[in-house]
Copies of this chain bind each other. A is one copy, B any other.
């Protein structure tokens, strides 16, 4: 079968890949809509997960089931499904402990285009299909739905980790597609004032639509100072980090009230250390909690979050700046993510 793959670090291309086979619990799915992710760019051009050869890329898909293993009960060929980016081993000790994304080892719940071929193929393999596919409800466009595998739950997980609730004043750092979902998630989880840190005009416009009440442009000065000015020196209740780098935590700690929380969902690609400023962290006693994690994945999250699209509480279409029709356009879509033209938020390819 055909697949769009990482040939090696720094190189992508179309390959003839082996069609996947379903074990007893698994499913084979063909994609209906696909979206490339910044993680794909990191994988190929930053070597983020190390060298890989001829590995089919992609982990954001909705599709149609074409085959299921004999132990699969809840899905059958022809079913339209949401496929989470993270597909845990649900019986693993880490899953039983509440962290399925780390089943079998830290981050090992992430399998697509990491431990096996991803979703940018004519077919792809899903482990533990009953637990890792979600039924796609009627009434949701597949382009909108393809934001459910990663953008929505990752952006929202930052909100969960920061424990945003009624009336919180929150800073969201980063307004790429994940950060925008964090902004939307804050608004949908009770935040009052939402200060979004970013500068690209198209993203700023969408951030406001999703509920940002203030935009903080790092090009206009130190973001900590701007936040402290806006809050009359008090700082904020929560910070969701969905962009930036290892130094962003220094800023986040400094803008946070004692008792505040950081929720990070940003992949940190470089730097030896995340640095926490000792004095602003209350010399180790300020109750500024730092939580950071990969979205959990799995069927339960997919089906629950889909209800927000069904009930129109969340409109993911605002993210979709570039729409392609035809599998062959996945290459173009991925290169857009790499090149990040000014008008890009997120491309989507329907098949």
- A residues near B (Cβ < 8 Å) are 23-25, 48, 71, 90-102, 105-107, 128, 130-132, 156, 160, 165-169, 185, 187-190, 192-194, 211, 213, 241, 246, 249-250, 257-259, 264-278, 281-294, 298-301, 303-308, 310-311, 313
Closest chain B residue to A189, Cβ basis: B190
Q: Which residues of B contact A311 (CB under 8 A)?
A: 192-194, 213
A323 to chain B, nearest CB (A): 26
Provided the pairs A268-B283, A294-B285 are in contact, do residues A97 and B259 lie with their beta carbons within 8 angstroms?
Answer: yes
Contact across chains for B166 and A259 when beta carbons are under 8 A apart: no
Q: Which of B131, B286, B293 contacts A91 (CB 8 A)?
A: B131
Contact across chains for A107 and B271 when beta carbons are under 8 A apart: no
Q: Which residues of B contact A282 (CB under 8 A)?
A: 102, 106-107, 292-294
Distance of A275 Cα from B313 Cα, bound (Å): 35
Distance of A225 Cα from B277 Cα, bound (Å): 27
Q: Which residues of B contact A275 (CB under 8 A)?
A: 272-276
Q: Which residues of B contact A267 (CB under 8 A)?
A: 283-285
Contact across chains for B258 and A102 when beta carbons are under 8 A apart: yes
Q: Which residues of B contact A193 (CB under 8 A)?
A: 307, 310-311
Closest chain B residue to A293, Cβ basis: B287
Provided the pairs A166-B188, A311-B193 are in contact, do residues A128 and B274 lie with their beta carbons within 8 angstroms?
Answer: no
Contact across chains for B287 and A264 when beta carbons are under 8 A apart: no
A190 to chain B, nearest CB (A): 5
Closest chain B residue to A297, Cβ basis: B96
Distance of A66 Cα from B141 Cα, bound (Å): 51
Q: Which of B189, B246, B278, B290 contacts A246 (CB 8 A)?
A: B278
Q: A91-B299, A99-B258 are in contact. List 13 more A-B contacts (CB 8 A).
A: A90-B95, A102-B258, A107-B282, A107-B286, A166-B185, A213-B311, A271-B278, A275-B275, A276-B290, A284-B292, A287-B291, A289-B290, A289-B291
Q: Which residues of B contact A105 (CB under 8 A)?
A: 258
Contact across chains for B96 and A259 when beta carbons are under 8 A apart: no
Q: Which residues of B contact A166 (CB under 8 A)?
A: 156, 160, 185, 188-189, 304-305, 308
Could you pull out 11 A-B pairs where Cβ atoms are within 8 angstroms? Answer: A96-B300, A96-B301, A98-B259, A99-B259, A169-B307, A185-B190, A188-B189, A286-B292, A286-B294, A287-B291, A290-B291
A187 to chain B, nearest CB (A): 7
Distance of A23 Cα from B339 Cα, bound (Å): 50
Distance of A266 Cα from B289 Cα, bound (Å): 15
- From A189, A272, A292, A308, residue with most partner B Cβ within 10 Å: A292
Contact across chains for B93 and A299 when beta carbons are under 8 A apart: yes
Q: Which of B100, B278, B303, B304 contacts A272 (CB 8 A)?
A: B278
